[in-house]
Structure 1
Amino acid sequence: MASSPLGRATRGTTGTNRLRRSDRWIAASDAFLGASDPLIVDLGYGASGVTAFELAARLQRVRPDVEVIGLEIDPVRVATAREQLADVRAGRTPFPSGIPVSFARGGFETPLPDGRRAAVIRAMNVLRQYDEEHVPSAWRTMAARLAPGGLLVEGTCDEIGRVASWVDVGPDGLAARFTISLRLAELERPSIVAERLPKALIHRNVPGERIHTLLADLDREWIRAASLSTFGATQRFLATVTALRDQGWPVRGGRARWRLGELTLPWDAVAPL
């Protein structure tokens, strides 16, 4: 347990199924799939431990040996999550009683037992309250607790998990990839993600910045592909992403990821100028 956790407590808003998009991303990541010790950290889980339980349940389907540790600065939140865990252990919840989850007090320093390092640290909706200038140091501090080949997933989503974006940060503390993840059904325009960009980008959505150009191009191609709505939003999004790639945007992944409403690019393609 950290005596002086680094950082400030988040607003604490927590929603069931809110982080399913980042959970799905982590489940498919090389950092998780190839980890010799699949220890996953849910950093800043909020007023309820539900996101840690959901993360463990989803990842356990892929690797039964996964272990999830939820970290929070606020000791009251840690106590609440441990009470929830007691209910899980007693079989009073939908989660398996033996789910591999624990909770402890900690912040950006990411304290872990027995000198272990995390395969993945998920820090969603944690940096929104900070100034942009504090982001690089927060990344470096968290990334220092990653195992070789590990991954920090830092980003933001809306309250019900339909709009999300995040940055993949490596053990060196440097950003590698940027991902947008959208629920395609009833999507009006992809640039709705502007409201849920990571702190490193949210103030950069202005003319002249790369992220602004990306979102403008994304909306333009979404409009151009409107005729494909007859065949569903997924087909429309596939056409949109394909058009971006054809224009020279270094789109990563393939149609299997795009069908999920995901668009991933190297960080350099959107990094602040």
Structure 2
Amino acid sequence: MPSPRPHPRPVGAATRGTTHRNRLRRMDRWIAACHGRALRSAGDPSVVDLGYGAAPWTAVELLARLRAVAPRTEVTGVEIDPSRVAAALPYERPGLRFLHGGFEIPLPGGRRPLLIRAANVLRQYPEDEVPAAWARLTARLAPGGLLVEGTCDEIGRRHVWVALGPEGPRTVTFAARLRGLDRPSDLAERLPKALIHRNVPGEPVHAFLRDFDRAWASAAAYAPLGARQRWLTAVRELAADWPVMADPRRMRQGEVTVRWQALAPRGV
């Protein structure tokens, strides 16, 4: 009898694995609001939580939040560390499973997900490896699919992510807990890998954060009405010069989304 065919080596490297409950709630809510219709319309809405870490909380929470808007959604947590997969198996349930793998997204039968979420995964990689990782992941998407890739702080108060389709990056979203936010550029330390080293004079993302800080300062008179009113006023001022996708419902959640082309690194 021929020997079993070995499994291909997963593509990628293990992350630190740090995770906390509710850490990715801002990203999850944005996905549910902006991609929920696509998930509802799909006959087989498959979602991947790539690199969920040492505990399965982010995948468990993603399933709950997406099923609230698209009840047929199924989530697969994919981890490159086999011990993390083994630790997550007791949390499997209908619609939620865990697999060993990496950027190749090894769903059974070659199934293609409608959504891949990669949070706090690429931050450890060199900047020049990000385009190849994006290309590999978006190539695995189903038609109409979306890759959401970004970084947040340890308890999910500040988060920045890029949304990509098969054609490449589309938007960048900045999301924050507004109470306690000193200025919008505080989000700079959570820029995804493709942008964090570009926050220097002469680069678009640096100019954007500079202008956002100026708009925030200009809106200081609204601070007594609350941080939300100050944020809304600042974003409206910012939209005069930047291609902000000003959805009032998302803005009220402490978000601002900008078209990728406006922030894309120079020379890339």
Whether TM-score is above 0.5 comes out as yes
Distance 1:99 1:183, change over 3 A: farther
Alignment equivalent of 2:173, drawn from 172, 179, 183 = 179
Paired residues for 1:235-250 under 5 Å: 235-246=229-240, 248-250=241-243
1:96-147, CA deviations, whole angstroms, 9 ceiling, x for partnerless residues?
xx55210001101111112211010000000011011000000011111101
| Matching of residue 12 in structure 1 with residue 54 in structure 2 | no
- Which aligned pairs between 1:61-100 and structure 2 lie closer than 5 A? 61-85=68-92, 98=93, 100=95
Aligned-partner Cα distance in 2 for 1:133–1:169 = 17
1:4 partner letter: R
Q: Distance in 2 between matches of 1:272 and 1:18?
A: 28
Percentage of pairs with the same residue: 57
> Are residues 68 and 2 of structure 1, via their aligned partners in 2, closer, same or farther at CA, if it must alter by over 3 Å?
farther
The aligned counterpart of 1:256 is 249
Measured in 2, the distance between the counterparts of 1:12 and 1:147 equals 27
Q: C-alpha distance in 1, partners of 2:95/2:188?
A: 35
Deviation at 1:33, TM superposition (A): 4.0
User: Residues 145-173 of structure 1, C-alpha deviation per residue, up to 9 Å, x if partnerless?
Assistant: 1011100000000000000000011123x
Whether the aligned pair in 2 keeps the contact of 1:2 and 1:106 (CA below 8 Å) is no
Alignment equivalent of 2:162, drawn from 164, 167, 180: 167
Matches within 5 A, 1:101-250: 101-172=96-167, 174-246=168-240, 248-250=241-243
| 1:40 maps onto 2:47 in alignment | yes
Three-state SS of the structure 2 residue aligned to 1:68 is: strand
Checking the alignment, whether the CA contact within 8 Å between 1:132 and 1:199 is kept in structure 2 is yes
2: CA distance, partners of 1:68 / 1:104: 11
Query: 1:201 & 1:216 partners in 2: Cα distance?
Result: 15
- Preserved CA contact (<8 Å) 1:57 1:99: no
Residue 25 of structure 1, CA deviation: 1.2
Secondary structure, counterpart of 1:222 in structure 2: helix
Does the aligned pair in 1 maintain the 2:79–2:100 contact within 8 Å? yes
SS in 2 for 1:253: coil
Tell me the CA shift for residue 29 of structure 1: 2.4
**CA–CA distance in 1 between the matches of 2:196 and 2:41?**
32
CA distance in 1, matches of 2:84, 2:17: 9
User: In the TM superposition, what is the alpha-carbon distance from 1:64 to its structure 2 partner?
Assistant: 1.1
What's the C-alpha RMSD, in Å, of the aligned pairs?
1.3
The offset of 1:255, in angstroms, is: 1.1
In structure 2, runs of 5+ residues without a counterpart are 1-5
- Give TM-score, length-normalised by structure 2: 0.94
- Identify unmatched segments of 5+ residues in structure 1: 86-97
